[in-house]
Every structure is written in C-alpha cells, then in structure tokens.
Structure 1
C-alpha cells in the first residue's frame, strides 16, 4: 500500500541528512508534514481557553526573540500550530527547534489528549 504522505522538502542550504531524522522524530511526537512537505503542523489540546491562549503567548514570546513566527489558529480548547520557513522556502532547523519548543511549552501548560480538551457546546 503506497503512502500518500508528503515527503519533507528542506530549504536550500539545510542538511537533509541531519534534518531528516529530526523531522521523523517530530512525526513520532504527533507532528505532521503539511500538504507540500515544507512545514510541520500539530494541534495541541487544553482544558480551558485561558490555557490555550497562554500557550499561544508562550509561543509568541519565543517566536519574537528568535524572529521566526508560526501560523496559529486558536479555538476554545485547542491551538493549531504550523511552522515553515518562507526564505529560503522549505523546512529548516528553525522550524524543528520551534516545534520542539512548542512540545515543551505544551507540557508546561498542561496540554491534554484530544478527547480531554475543552469543546464548545453542552457537556456530555
């Protein structure tokens, strides 16, 4: 059975032999390559909107200091994070480093499994 998952596409100047295993490690930790293989994405779940927004602020602080910013979508109990590099275009060590920062920050902020995250609407 052929896999339809995209292959990682690294930016010019990056070392695929180094970043390949790093990218695979991220995928084992719940990250996925985006549709064109030039970035990584993951959804983090939280038990409250406040924790989700606090997580966004934690990422924003580090992003500002590193001058590398993700695309983020905030919902009531989750945050989608997408890292990619625009110049040079493709996956870079900066994306890998910041994805690891997100995993560490999510742990500090009390991230939960998707079924335990806060959902909009009446409780079951």
Structure 2
C-alpha cells in the first residue's frame, strides 16, 4: 500500500541530514510538506483582516531583504504561506529560515488557532 505522505526533496547542495531535522522541527510547529515534498506550507489565522495583511507585509519586508519570496494567499481571516526554492529546485535552508520568521512574526501579529480567526459574514 503506497503512502500519500510526501517525503522531503531537498535542493542540490543542501545537507539532507541537517535539513531533514530542521524540516521535522517545522512539522512539529504545524508546517506541512507540499504535495511534491519540495516546499513547506502553513495557514495562519487572525482575528482581523488588518492583522492578516500586516502579517503579509511583515513577510514581504523580510522576503525583500533575503531575496526569497513565498506564495501567499490572503483570506478574510487567514493567510496561507508556501515556501520553496526554484533554483536549485527543492527545499533549502532559506525556506526553513523564512518559515521560522513567519512563525515568529505570526506571534507578534496576534495569530490565533484555527476556528478563532475572523469569519466573513454577519456577526452572530
């Protein structure tokens, strides 16, 4: 029976032992490997749209400095973040470092648990 769980695919030149350990640590923090195993992804939840957008700006600022950019999807009360490296293709230490930056920034921006974030629609 084949497993549907992706295995990490590290970029050429990376230390698979160290990066494997770092990836496992990220997974303990709620990050998941993408379907190809070449990146990591996580959804962050916020109680206001402004906080979600502020979180995106925090990531954008650091991304500009590091010259490493994620794919992000902003929703009303959440932000999906996906880190991968395109050249060389695969998971790298840059992805791990930026994912950690996201976790730290999410705490500063008031990230909440899934289900506690802002919902679109009338208040009850």
Deviation per CA, 1:65-116: give whole Å up to 9, x if none: 0000000000011000000000000000000000000000000000000110
Task: Name the structure 1 match of 2:40.
Answer: 40
TM-score (norm 2): 0.97
Query: How many positions carry a matched residue from both structures?
Result: 124
**Segment drifting more, 55-64 vs 114-123:** 114-123
In the alignment, is residue 53 of structure 1 matched against residue 33 of structure 2? Answer: no
Q: What CA distance in whole angstroms lies between the structure 1 residues aligned with 2:81 and 2:121?
A: 23
1:1-124 aligned within 5 A: 3-124=3-124
Of 113-122 and 51-60, the range deviating more from structure 2: 113-122
Mind listing any 5+ residue stretches in structure 2 that lack a counterpart?
none
- Structure 1: runs of 5 or more not aligned: none
1:33-64 Cα distance to aligned partner (Å, 9 max, x none): 00000000000000000000000000000000
Separation of aligned partners in 2, 1:3 and 1:101: 31
User: Over aligned residue pairs, what C-alpha RMSD do you find?
Assistant: 1.1
